[in-house]
Amino acid sequence: MLQTPPAAPGMREEEIDTPALVLDLDAFEANLASMRDMLAPTGAKLRAHAKTHKSPVIAHRQIAHGAIGQCVQKVGEAEVLAWGGVPDILVSNEVVGAGKLARLVALAKIAQVAVCADDAAHVAAAEAAAEAAGIRLSMLVEIDVGGARCGVAPGPEAAALAGRIAASKHLRFGGLHAYHGSAQHLRRAEQRHFAIAAAAEGCRRTVDILRQQGLDCPIVSGGGTGTFMLEAQSGVYNEVQAGSYVFMDADYGRNLDASGQERSPFRQSLFVLATVMSASRQGLAVVDAGHKAVAVDSGLPLVAGLAGVKYVGASDEHGKLAVEGGEAPKLGQKLRLVPGHCDPTVDRYDWYVGVRNGRVECLWPIGARGMMA
């Protein structure tokens, strides 16, 4: 079953049923525009990561603001986007299993799709799926530029795998996927600078070898919300994959800018609206949003706009607020939480509730919620 929509257009924010995922539309639109304006002078294109929003509606808003397409992590996410009319989708990940690959190539008739490899076995399996579907599938080589997770080493190893792809009648070499995940949350600007300089150097070296092999590298893709301007200005990346920028979260909010301030070009647009459901103890209030409602993998949520009130503990369905000054939240009061991490928080909901000037303006379905396969 899907969740019942927690609101209807026209309602006041206080009338929204909780817990609910509230999208501040002014902040959201400002983020779309900021990203477009920041990238414009660099020449790099945005291929926004849909693992954040999981919604064709938001994908289309990003495309309307200059994005050339979307990234996803899973075939199930690619399906929902393609079915929702998104024309260009990169699975920025390896896909294993004949069933999953058959689903992916089936999408090639309605959208441009591409997928990554870091092993000859991925190439062989994709080749078989593409041949069976009678299409030519674009495949990128994932290189490990510091995340130490998936990806082959930059340089000759990556170039060899690219050559294997390019040699296939059923595949097309799409380029390099070179995302440095662990650099996104390095707190100091110079740490991020050094990490992405090294990543760009790995890309450059690989592109040079490919050129010597006579192979063109159409896409060099990477960069998240923490570093995308570094990739965009590197001279080698031509696509950036930022996703969280549309929403932001408490964890990205802790990144420091070059002057050492917690400051971002993006505004917090995503909130979990919660209700105080118990206030039986002095100095404590309990809200109806625990870690089933707001992800805690990157830290606890913050309480927006209430000085002295701190979210101090999450159990499955309860959040404990400590009141350390200011006015204590009252039983029944609704308040906005800033999620610690936006992507997995979105994955708990079927609906965005778009709010402007205190009123519900729209409901948008999170169509790819839970599409993990």
Q: Does 167 bind its own copies (CB under 8 A)?
A: no
* Pairing assessment for the beta strands 20-24 and 45-49 based on DSSP bridges: unpaired
Site string for its own copies, 4-23 (x = CB under 8 A): x-x----------xxxx---
CB-nearer residue toward its own copies: 44 or 129: 129
Q: Which residue carries 């799709």 as its tokens?
A: 113
In the chain, helix, strand, coil percent, each to 5?
30, 25, 45
Of 307, 267, 264, 315, whose CA–CA distance to 287 is shortest?
Answer: 315
Identify the residue among 279, 302, 328, 337 touching its own copies (CB under 8 A): 279
Which tokens sit at 275?
């209700």
CB-nearer residue toward its own copies: 38 or 242: 242
Q: Is the separation of the CB atoms in 65 and 35 below 8 Å?
A: yes
Peptide bond into 19 cis (omega under 30): yes
Site string for its own copies, 317-346 (x = CB under 8 A): xx-x----------xx----------xx--
List, as one string, the DSSP characters of 162-215: HHHHHT-SSEEEEEEE---GGGTT-SSHHHHHHHHHHHHHHHHHHHHHHHHTT-
Stretch touching its own copies by CB under 8 A, among 163-171, 206-214, 226-234, 294-302: 294-302
> What part of residues 63-122 is at the interface with its own copies (CB under 8 A)?
73-74, 76, 80, 93-97, 99-100, 118-119, 121
Distance of closest approach, residue 100 Cβ to its own copies, in angstroms: 7
Site string for its own copies, 233-272 (x = CB under 8 A): ----------------------------------------
Identify the residue among 275, 301, 303, 309 touching its own copies (CB under 8 A): 275
User: What single-letter DSSP state applies at residue 238?
Assistant: -
Please count the CA atoms within 13 angstroms of the CA of 225 that sit on its side-chain side: 31
Question: What is the distance between the alpha carbons of residues 214 and 105, in angstroms, rounded to a whole number?
Answer: 27
* Pairing assessment for the beta strands 319-323 and 334-338 based on DSSP bridges: unpaired
CB-nearer residue toward its own copies: 38 or 366: 366
Q: Is the separation of the CB atoms in 298 and 288 below 8 Å?
A: no
Identify the residue among 24, 44, 50, 51 touching its own copies (CB under 8 A): 51
Stretch touching its own copies by CB under 8 A, among 22-30, 213-221, 252-260, 362-370: 362-370
CB-nearer residue toward its own copies: 52 or 268: 52
Site string for its own copies, 116-155 (x = CB under 8 A): --xx-x----------------------x---xxxxx---
How far is CA 373 from each of CA 56, 93, 103, 127, 297, rounded to the nearest angstrom?
A: 18, 12, 11, 20, 21
Applying CB under 8 A, which residues contact its own copies? 1-4, 6, 17-20, 51, 73-74, 76, 80, 93-97, 99-100, 118-119, 121, 144, 148-152, 181, 275-281, 284, 286, 288-289, 291-293, 295-297, 314-318, 320, 331-332, 343-344, 347-350, 367-373
